[in-house]
Amino acid sequence: MNLGLNVREIERYDLVILLMAVALTCFGVVMVSSASSVVATKKFHDGFYFLKRQGVYALLGFGVMAVAMRIDYRIWREYAVPILLGCLFLLFLVFIPGIGGAAKGASRWIRLPGFNFQPSELAKIALIVYMAYSLDKKQDKVKFFSTGFLPYMVLLSAVLLILLKQHDLGAALTMGLVAIIMLFAAGTRPRYIIAMGMVALPILYFLVMNVDYRRRRILAYLNPWEDPTDTGFQIIQSWLAFGNGGVLGQGLGEGKQKMFYLPEAHTDFILSVTGEELGLIGVTVIAAMFLMLVLRGVRVALMAQEPFGRFLAFGIATLLGIQAFVNMAVVTGLLPTKGLALPFISYGGSSLIVTLFAVGILLNISTRLKGAP
């Protein structure tokens, strides 16, 4: 397959989506370098350790995106079931000793030479592809509980149970929200969703309040100053980073909170470093870019020529929007602290490569819109 893209071919794609994805990824590489250099020097004696790895992930991600851009998105409909089953198999592999990897009490990774792969990232896309395929087939049944709602809840429950076993509540909640929003957009009756929410809330309460570290996060969210040196430490340091940045920021590379004050500075809390170094203006630009990307994704969904493409594009746009919003809400203290990467920007190969793959699918859908030649 010839992956070369000339100017005329590029013009077929939604250029706003393409430019936003490339710009956010490149910005992420820069911010990973700035946020991680001190930690990398101390831990690996190489201040560019994380930068070099993130640069490689970005190049791989761009390559995967270029391939996905050139593949007719309708082919994913044919392989929706095998892709989902394959991802479920990968999710089970993390529990096998010698294959799965664990960190901080969570088992979420498959160990590969020089790289830890997180299958839950790919499972998010697999679930979206399967739901788009299934909703396309069941358009006339989606309003019925037994055929258009219950089967999805059974499938979703099975996937979420596996993720909860991996102690990955963030991925479970994200996938659950994306699935529910896709069902609502497809025409599921709101009363089914409300009823499901009433059932899910006490379960979520139990999952949070009966696990010590989750309960402590909720308490820290309600009053971080009650324990400023432990459970409230991370969000307080994040606030200090934003406060230090002000409107214009301290300047790229000049942040202080990343110097062993702010935990996870180059991963989950990289936006805090951005706020300190580039200020309110920098954070606002990043938020605006995400908003533009999501809105263009929704536009592609609304203009797609057939239902599968419409549901697929909407699911991808929803996933990007939820992940970006939740990360921004967490680092600013609007939501309890939860490990969830900021798409394109946080350090991590699995998240970046899979996200760019999803954008590639979205771009391919954008070439086949209503009224397009």
Nearest Cα residue to 94 out of 119, 115, 113: 119
Q: What is the pLDDT of residues 225-235, one digit of tens each?
A: 988 888 889 99
Q: What sign does the CA torsion over 192, 358, 318, 90 have?
A: positive
DSSP string, 208-240: HHTSHHHHHHHHHHH-GGGSTTTTTHHHHHHHH
pLDDT band at 338; cut points 50, 70, 90: confident
Interval 137-172: pLDDT, tens: 988 888 888 888 999 999 999 999 999 888 888 899
* In the predicted structure, residue 7 carries a pLDDT above the cut 80: no
Q: Model-level pTM?
A: 0.94
Q: What is the DSSP string of 11-32?
A: TTS-HHHHHHHHHHHHHHHHHH
pLDDT tens for 340-354 read: 899 999 999 999 999
pLDDT of 284 reads 98
Centre a 10 Å sphere on the Cβ of residue 41 and count the other Cβ atoms it contains. 13
Q: Which H or E run contains 117?
A: strand 115-117
Instruction: Provide the pLDDT for residue 56.
Output: 96
| CA 216/CA 221 separation, integer angstroms | 8
In 3D space, the residue among 273, 248, 341 whose CA is nearest the CA of residue 38 turns out to be 273
**Whether the predicted pLDDT of 313 surpasses 60:** yes
Rounded distance between C-alpha atoms, residue 188 and residue 230, angstroms: 44
Q: What pLDDT does 106 receive?
A: 62
Judge whether residue 373 has pLDDT over 70.
Answer: no
pLDDT, residue 6, reads 59
Quote the distance between the C-alpha of residue 251 and its chain's center. Answer: 27
pLDDT beyond 80 at 103 = no
Confidence of residue 211 (pLDDT cuts 50, 70, 90): confident
- CB distance 163 to 172 below 8 Å: yes
Phi/psi at 101 (5° precision): -120, 145
Residue 5 — pLDDT band, cuts 50, 70, 90?
A: low
Weakest-pLDDT range from 38-42, 57-61, 320-324: 38-42
Helices 349-366 and 49-70: angle between axes, nearest 10 degrees: 30
pLDDT in tens, 107-142: 688 888 777 889 999 999 999 999 999 999 988 888
Candidate from 76-80, 158-162, 261-265 with smallest mean pLDDT = 261-265
Terminus-to-terminus CA distance in the chain, angstroms?
Answer: 23
Confidence of residue 362 (pLDDT cuts 50, 70, 90): very high
Is residue 75 predicted with pLDDT exceeding 70?
yes
Cα separation, 51 vs 40, whole angstroms: 9
pLDDT of residue 4: 52
Mean residue pLDDT across the chain: 91
Q: What is the per-residue pLDDT for 1?
A: 42
- 270-299 residue pLDDT tens: 999 999 999 999 999 999 999 999 999 999
The pLDDT value recorded for residue 142 is 86
Q: Pick from 327, 157, 206, 97: which is nearest to 107 by CA?
A: 97
**Distance from C-alpha of 322 to C-alpha of 263, rounded to nearest angstrom:** 23
- Predicted pLDDT of residue 300: 97
Residue 108's pLDDT is 80
The pLDDT > 70 percentage for the chain reads: 95
CA distance 198 to 231: 29
